[in-house]
Structure 1
Amino acid sequence: MSATETQTETATWVHYHDGGIPGRRRVLTGTAAKDTFNALPKIDFRRIYSDNLSDRKELAKEVGAACRDVGFFYAVNHGVDEGLLNDTFDALKRYFALPTDVKMETHNQKTEKFRGYEAFLEGKLDPSTRGDLKEGFLMGEDATDPEQHRPITPSTSTARNQWPTHPSALFWRPAIYRYYNAMEAFSKRMLHIFALALDLPETYFDAITTHPMTNVRAVHYPPQERQTDVGIGAHTDFCWFTLVCQSRTAYPALEVLNANGLWVPVHPEPNTFVVNIADFLKLVTGGTWQSTVHRVRNTGGEQRYSMPFFFSPNEDAKVSVVQHLRKEGEKYDEFVVGEYFQKRLDIDRTTHLDGEDGKNGGIKRSGY
Structure 2
Amino acid sequence: MSNTETETETETQNETYVHYHDGGVLGKRRVLKGKAAKPTFDEVPKIDMRRIYSDSLDDRKELAKEVGEACRNVGFFYAVNHGVDEQILDDTFAAVKRFFDLPTEVKMEVHNQKTEKFRGYEAFLEGKLDPSTRGDLKEGFLMGEDATDPSQNLPLSTLPFMSTPRNQWPTHPTALFLRPALTTYHTAMLAFSRRLLSIFALALSLPESHFDPITRHPLTNVRAVHYPPQPSASDVGIGAHTDFCFFTLVCQSRTTYPALEVLNANAIWVPVAYEPDSFVVNIADFLKVVTGGVWRSTVHRVRNWGGEERYSLPFFFSPDEDARVGVVGGFGGEGGGEEVEVGVGEYFQRRLEVDRRTHLEGEGEGDKGGGD
TM-score, with structure 2 as normaliser? 0.93
* 2:211 aligned residue: 205
- Percent identity between matched residues is 73
Equivalent of 2:353 in 341, 346, 357 = 346
**Cα separation, 1, equivalents of 2:338 and 2:121:** 42
In structure 2, do the counterparts of structure 1 residues 133 and 251 end up closer, same or farther at CA, with 3 Å as the change threshold?
same
Partner of 2:344: 337
Given the alignment of the two structures, is residue 35 of structure 1 paired with residue 39 of structure 2, yes or no?
Answer: yes
Matched, 1:147 2:151: yes
| CA distance in 1: counterparts of 2:262 and 2:149, whole angstroms | 35
Corresponding residue to 1:264 among 237, 261, 270: 270
Partner of 2:83: 79
| Local SS of the residue matching 2:161 | coil
Shift of 1:174: 0.4
Work out which of the residue numbers 273, 287, 290 in structure 2 matches 1:284: 290
Correspondence list, 1:1-368, <5 A: 1=3, 2=5, 3-148=7-152, 149-153=154-158, 154-327=160-333, 332-353=339-360, 358=361
Q: Distance in 1 between matches of 2:126 and 2:213?
A: 37
**How many corresponding residue pairs?**
360
Distance 1:83 1:168 in 2: 22
Q: Secondary structure at the match of 1:351?
A: coil
Separation in structure 2 between the aligned mates of residue 258 and residue 19 of structure 1, nearest angstrom: 17
Q: In 2, are the aligned partners of 1:115 and 1:161 still within 8 Å (CA)?
A: yes
Q: CA–CA distance in 2 between the matches of 1:344 and 1:108? A: 15
When structure 1 is superposed on structure 2, of 144-153 and 102-111 the one drifting more is: 144-153
Distance 1:114 1:161 in 2: 9
Task: Note if contact 1:351-1:363 (Cα within 8 Å) is conserved in structure 2.
Answer: no
The verdict on how the C-alpha distance between 1:364 and 1:326 changes in structure 2, with shifts beyond 3 A counting, is closer
Distance in 2, matches of 1:235 and 1:97, equals 28
Is the 8 Å Cα contact of residues 16 and 31 (structure 2) preserved in structure 1?
Answer: yes
Q: Deviations over 1:108-143 (max 9, x none)?
A: 111111000000001111111110000000001222
Residue by residue, what CA displacement relative to the aligned partner does 1:231-288 show, whole Å, maximum 9, x if unpaired?
0000000100000000000000000000111100000000000000000000000111
Counterpart residue identity of residue 140, structure 1? G
Distance 1:333 1:42 in 2: 32
TM-score by length of 1: 0.94
Gaps of 5+ in 2: none
Against the structure 1 CA distance between its residues 44 and 20, is the aligned structure 2 distance closer, same or farther, given a 3 Å change threshold? Answer: same
Shift of 1:325: 1.4
SS at match of 1:261: coil
